[in-house]
Amino acid sequence: YYGEHVGGPAAVAERRWFEIAWWGEGIADAIDYVNEHAAPSARVHKRCVAPSHLTWLRADLWAREAHDPARADWVIVYQPSTGTCQLPPLATLVHRVEVQGAALVDVYYVDRGANDARQ
């Protein structure tokens, strides 16, 4: 259902016709990004990822998971085209994993005025 006859993955995601990702496609790249860029003991909201068992964060990040996105420093969103994940007002898209124009996973950084943890 991602074929040219429906406009490819980008059109399918834009129109929310079908699920774009299902088996965890792109999650490893997004998790690697967070593991590389997050400050020690940052709070990561990963409840917008299903299957959640694929979110293998660094040990210091795992221990401080943010169950509420409003309290997160980072938010990982799987299948962002569904629009079901609530983002904090200060969230900025910093990394996207996509296929043929369709976003599979988005990573947001929440700048709370502290030193930029992405550096």
For the chain, the three-class secondary structure string (H helix, E strand, C coil) is CCCHHHCHHHHHHHHCCCCCCCCCCCHHHHHHHHHHHCCCCCCEEEEECCCHHHCCCCHHHHCCCCCCHHHCCEEEEECHHHCCCCCCCCEEEEEEEEECCEEEEEEEEECCCCCCCCC
Judge if pTM exceeds 0.85: no
Task: For residue range 21-64, list pLDDT tens digits in order.
Answer: 667 889 999 999 999 999 999 999 999 998 777 788 999 999 89
